[in-house]
Structure 1
Amino acid sequence: MSAQLLARTAASLHGLALGDAFGSQFFVPTNRHALSSRLLPPAPWQWTDDTEMACSIYRVLADHGTIDQDELATSFATRHDFDRGYGPATNRMLRLVREGGDWRALSAELFDGKGSWGNGAAMRVAPLGAWFADDLTDVVQQATLSAQVTHTHPEAVAGAVAVAVATALTVSDSDLPAGHFLDRISEHVPESMVHDGIAEARQLLTISDPTLAAQMLGNGRQVSAHDTVPFTLWVAARCRHDFEAAMWTTAAAGGDVDTTCAIVGGIIAASERDHLPPLWRARCEPLPDWAGAPPLDHESA
């Protein structure tokens, strides 16, 4: 594997973690009031389950070069920190996997056998899109595999595919106009409410108010893929070359802010042209050592 491959994947992971940690600060009431004036929340910023699970994806890719579902399930379960904000269904599933349960059966049995359509598969997948950015067919296949470990519902899979493809396009064709960016993503997303939401996001590119966009597209408040992913792609399409503007725009819409900011951050940071703001990075909790992610190129000098 090339140094460039590792660098772009690690950059996406760092951006995801920074977005996650930044967004998580706005569940504190005093910080929410600072949104309108764009005052950075006080340090330290701690990341959540979004980052912890994304680190497992990075680790499995670095070790195997592909999504080994058994390895990914094991990593999710052994690295699971209950205090990172996991949902109750995921907490229970990962505990049972640690106790010897079959992740395939446990994932498929969720929600009366329908599987979870939550946004958890989408929130962690951006680094995978950066890894496989040279082949969008691989992106779709590998994102599907990564989602199925915990989320078997087609909507959750579609959400993961959409975010991974968006990240891949940010790596391979970062100058795509916003509308074409969403069109290219849609070409690879199966028919679903997520797909319909991306089409609606395409129609909303002419508006600039994130609150209005979120009213139409969702902001993750329902913690579902189709209530989360279209809005994050609307932000990414409009703000792909300005990390700070993208984060403030995403946070202004409220909802599941750590997850929406994590998704947007992971997409945008994969572009080589975008460096994460040093002041923000200094406030963010470092990635765990076990992830093995290298520092950003401009920070290693």
Structure 2
Amino acid sequence: MGVMTIDRRVRALDALHGLAVGDALGSQFFVPAHRDALTRRGLPPGPWQWTDDTEMACSVVAVLQRHGGVDQDMLAASFAEHHDFDRGYGPAMNRLLRLIRQGGAWRELAVGLFDGQGSWGNGAAMRVAPLGAWFGDDPAKAAAQAARSAEVTHAHPEGVAGAVAVAVAAALATRPGTPEPREFLDEVLGYVPPGRVRHGVWAARGLAHVPHAHVAVRELGNGRNTSAHDTVPFALWAAARHLADYEQAFWTTASTGGDVDTTCAIVGGIVAAHVGAQGLPGHWATTCEPLPDWADVASVPAGGKDSH
């Protein structure tokens, strides 16, 4: 078991709170009555409910707090125990977590998904930013632990690579100072294994100077296909472009559509790892649904910035 420090816990909770707010407000884009106001950057009434992105991220943080690292058996058990069907899980994940809860072996079940390929979805990436922040002083360890966290549900190498890329980005985001976007993505690339996710992050690096999200999305995707390689590169592009401004990072990400709650959860977690809980817009943080008691984490803090 690793040794938990206050700094590690604070960094992870900052990222978790940012992830939850991004997820919860992003999920409002799928509520027809709220969509028009959101496209004009208006805010719907609360509370904003978070989705499976936040629920699974809470399990990641709970396991880190208890074990200092990723105990895969404990993480699988927590995912299964706290699985709420109404939080928007995909069909394959609903079935996998139900079978684990009934005594199935997660190693066999995760590898067996999609005709034995394992899942390359964005689910492992969407929940992992707090883990990256936890290991902010050691990006290589963040990458290794992110891979372990992914394998519990997303055994395909691309699903693992997506989690690694997000975790490393969150780890790097905890450093003081705000790097240039291309420099930031260059460092992330140093830890991402070869494949489609890595190619996408490389393309995001090449677009780091581009100010328009819709231009980036044409090359990188926006999560519409819910795959790691269709989600993570754009999320990292948006986070790198707006690492010091949570509100702008959210609207830039959300403006392109696609899997909005997940892309905004990823971006929110990375950016909050950099700006801290005090960098969240105050009204957004207090309108987000509180985090669950079982996760042993504080509710989303009040935030430190006024929002428009």
Q: Contact 2:285/2:302 (CA < 8 Å) preserved in 1?
A: no
**Structure 1 counterpart of 2:70, from 62, 67, 71:** 67
In structure 2, give the amino acid aligned to 1:138.
K
The normalised TM-score by structure 1 is 0.96
Q: Matches of 1:34 and 1:216 in 2, distance apart?
A: 28
**Structure 2 counterpart of 1:292, from 296, 302, 307:** 296
The normalised TM-score by structure 2 is 0.94
**Structure 2 counterpart of 1:103, from 106, 111, 135:** 106
Question: C-alpha displacement at 1:34, in angstroms?
Answer: 2.5
Q: Matches of 1:140 and 1:171 in 2, distance apart?
A: 15
Q: Could you say which residue in structure 1 is the equivalent of 2:270? A: 267
Question: C-alpha displacement at 1:275, in angstroms?
Answer: 1.8
Q: How does 1:33-48 map to 2 (within 5 A)?
A: 33-48=36-51
SS at match of 2:279: coil
Question: C-alpha displacement at 1:174, in angstroms?
Answer: 4.2
Q: Matches of 2:265 and 2:238 in 1, distance apart?
A: 12
Q: Could you say which residue in structure 2 is the equivalent of 1:188? A: 191
**Structure 1 counterpart of 2:228, from 208, 225, 228:** 225
**Structure 1 counterpart of 2:123, from 117, 120, 124:** 120
Q: Matches of 1:136 and 1:282 in 2, distance apart?
A: 31
Q: Could you say which residue in structure 2 is the equivalent of 1:276? A: 280
**Structure 2 counterpart of 1:28, from 8, 19, 31:** 31
Q: Determine whether 1:139 maps to 2:139.
A: no
Q: Matches of 1:282 and 1:66 in 2, distance apart?
A: 30
Partner deviation per Cα, 1:10-32 (whole Å, 9 max, x = no partner): 01001100000010000123422
**Structure 1 counterpart of 2:82, from 43, 59, 79:** 79
Q: Contact 1:235/1:246 (CA < 8 Å) preserved in 2?
A: yes
SS at match of 1:228: helix
Q: 1:174 to 1:123 in 2, by over 3 A?
A: farther
Partner deviation per Cα, 1:35-90 (whole Å, 9 max, x = no partner): 44211122120000000000000000000001000000000000000000000000
Q: 1:275 to 1:88 in 2, by over 3 A?
A: same
Q: Determine whether 1:169 maps to 2:172.
A: yes
Q: Determine whether 1:155 maps to 2:174.
A: no
Q: Matches of 2:272 and 2:52 in 1, distance apart?
A: 19
In structure 1, give the amino acid aligned to 2:11.
R
Q: Contact 2:288/2:300 (CA < 8 Å) preserved in 1?
A: no
After superposition, the CA RMSD in angstroms is: 1.5
Q: Which runs of 5+ in 1 are unaligned?
A: none
Question: C-alpha displacement at 1:204, in angstroms?
Answer: 1.3
Q: Contact 2:282/2:302 (CA < 8 Å) preserved in 1?
A: no
Q: Matches of 1:206 and 1:31 in 2, distance apart?
A: 32
**Structure 2 counterpart of 1:215, from 213, 218, 225:** 218
Return the structure number with greater relative CO, CA threshold 8 A, min gap 6.
Answer: 1
In structure 2, give the amino acid aligned to 1:51.
T
Percent identical pairs in the alignment equals: 60
Say which is worse superposed, 207-216 or 242-251, in terms of deviation: 207-216
Q: Contact 2:147/2:164 (CA < 8 Å) preserved in 1?
A: yes
Q: Matches of 1:133 and 1:77 in 2, distance apart?
A: 27
SS at match of 1:159: helix
Q: 1:291 to 1:64 in 2, by over 3 A?
A: same
Q: Matches of 1:5 and 1:99 in 2, distance apart?
A: 34
Q: 1:81 to 1:36 in 2, by over 3 A?
A: closer
In structure 2, give the amino acid aligned to 1:279.
H
Question: C-alpha displacement at 1:297, in angstroms?
Answer: 7.5
